[in-house]
């Protein structure tokens, strides 16, 4: 256990009595023991003293892929969690897209064992269907008992509406959460970019917004029929925003997220056919990017994810139509978001998924467990390869202007500070 004094940190936490105040914090044996205007270091506490220091409740990322088991060349769980710590995240939800797919309790236990004693907590998402093949439901109840926090097939929309319905009904027996990526595979076809002016100009086959919206509509109808809880990840269209807003107004228990790259970048980035910008769902046009930001601000979108998906060079540095979808995003998430959103909103959306996934959160208050993200808000800098700690380097944010920097985290009794 590292004992720490954080000096003159502005606290961003609406649930804390010290919200928006500059205070000193004393952390002993993993617990906040004092929050005062001035705390003198009388013992051998580690001091964290940084200009413009801010802190908040620990951030959680609702969608990360680490590769292990099976794709360790892309990322390992150990290194992935170290990357998350340095990126300001005290918790991550791990996607099941490894090899083998995480679709049973032994796989859940394997990844949780690999994550022991790390500063960042790992919460596994179990595959909704066996092998993420969309044919039969996986061992959902067993995985829940082993530690799975939700169930979904990463970037694979369940085309079978009846199976989606059965899943929503079944998980209610144990308060489970279904994650439903929304994309109609027939409408998507062989599309590789947002259907619009840019894809037409570049000669790239388009993915219409309708492919996402049709599935959002279907899944919301199923939710209304079955009850239960549904999370729709990484929405990317104006129609999806409208549909989810209406569903929430009806009282349906639905939440959604958006990926950082869909908030910061638009499809004009594809002009040079750089496959780092090939993501799923695709980057949309500028008007949609602005609409997604509005949906974050008005509360329609519950949380923001980095959608961190490491891919090796053999799968990424190819012709545009052959390259795999995905970008790493942990290291760039905060700095990129601060170029388009206020810091209070970013903190709210990076901590909200604890509520969505029923993970304990700890307010910044005396006597509470220290689960804290540390950051600044004023520095301007450019994201380069030197900022990447992931094993894979497939970042859509290389060369992008960033604002503010992550200093580190304190969680699980451990202090992680960036050099």
Give the residue numbers annotated as catalytic, written as ranges. Answer: 307
Residues 111, 312: Cα–Cα separation, whole Å: 21
**In sequence order, what are the residues at sequence separation of 6 or more whose Cβ sits closer than 8 angstroms to the Cβ of residue 104?**
138, 139, 142, 143
User: Tokens at residue 214, please?
Assistant: 């049709």
The DSSP secondary structure of 8-69, one letter per residue, reads EEEEE-TTSTTTT-EEEEEEETTEEEEEES-----SSPEEE--TT-EEEEPEEEEEE---TT
Long-range contacts, 34-37 (Cβ 8 Å, 24+): 34/366, 35/11, 35/364, 35/365, 35/366
Tell me if 381 sits within 8 A of 333, measured CB to CB: no
* Cα–Cα distances in angstroms (integers) from residue 343 to residues 293, 295, 403, in the given order: 13, 16, 10
Residues 79, 416: Cα–Cα separation, whole Å: 14
Residues 206, 415: Cα–Cα separation, whole Å: 46
Bridge partners of residue 61, in order along the sequence: 92
């Amino acid at each position: 256990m590292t004992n720490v004094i954080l000096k003159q940190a502005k606290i961003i936490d609406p649930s804390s009595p010290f919200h928006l105040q500059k205070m000193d914090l004393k952390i002993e044996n993993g617990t906040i023991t004092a929050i005062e205007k001035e705390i003198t270091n009388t013992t051998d506490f580690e001091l964290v003293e940084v200009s413009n220091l801010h802190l908040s409740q620990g951030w959680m990322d609702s969608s990360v892929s680490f590769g292990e088991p099976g794709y360790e060349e892309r990322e390992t769980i150990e290194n992935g969690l170290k990357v998350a710590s340095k990126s300001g995240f005290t918790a991550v939800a791990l996607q099941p897209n490894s090899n083998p797919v995480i679709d049973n309790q032994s796989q859940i236990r394997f990844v949780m064992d690999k994550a022991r004693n790390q500063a960042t907590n790992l919460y596994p998402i179990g595959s909704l269907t066996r092998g993420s093949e969309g044919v039969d439901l996986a061992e959902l109840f067993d995985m829940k008992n082993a530690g799975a926090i939700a169930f979904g097939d990463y970037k694979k929309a369940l085309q079978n509406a009846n199976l989606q319905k059965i899943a929503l009904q079944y998980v209610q027996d144990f308060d489970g959460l279904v994650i439903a990526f929304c994309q109609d595979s027939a409408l998507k076809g062989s599309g590789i970019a947002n259907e619009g002016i840019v894809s037409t100009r570049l000669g790239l086959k388009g993915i219409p917004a309708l492919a996402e919206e049709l599935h959002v509509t279907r899944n919301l109808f199923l939710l209304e029929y079955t009850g239960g809880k549904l999370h729709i990840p990484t929405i990317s269209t104006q129609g999806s925003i409208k549909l989810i807003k209406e569903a929430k107004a009806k009282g349906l228990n639905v939440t959604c997220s958006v990926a950082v790259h869909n908030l910061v970048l638009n499809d004009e980035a594809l002009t040079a056919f750089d496959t780092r910008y090939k993501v799923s769902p695709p980057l949309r046009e500028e008007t949609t990017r602005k609409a997604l930001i509005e949906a974050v601000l008005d509360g329609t979108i519950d949380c923001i994810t980095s959608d961190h998906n490491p891919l090796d060079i053999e799968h990424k540095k190819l012709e545009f139509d052959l390259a795999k979808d995905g970008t790493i995003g942990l290291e760039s998430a905060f700095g990129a978001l601060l170029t388009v959103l206020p810091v209070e909103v970013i903190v709210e959306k990076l901590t909200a998924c604890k509520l969505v996934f029923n993970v304990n959160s700890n307010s910044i208050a005396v006597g509470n467990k220290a689960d804290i993200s540390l950051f600044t808000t004023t520095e301007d800098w450019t994201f380069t390869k030197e900022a990447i700690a992931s094993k894979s380097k497939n970042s859509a944010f290389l060369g992008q202007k960033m604002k503010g920097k992550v200093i580190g985290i304190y969680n699980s009794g451990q202090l992680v500070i960036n050099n």
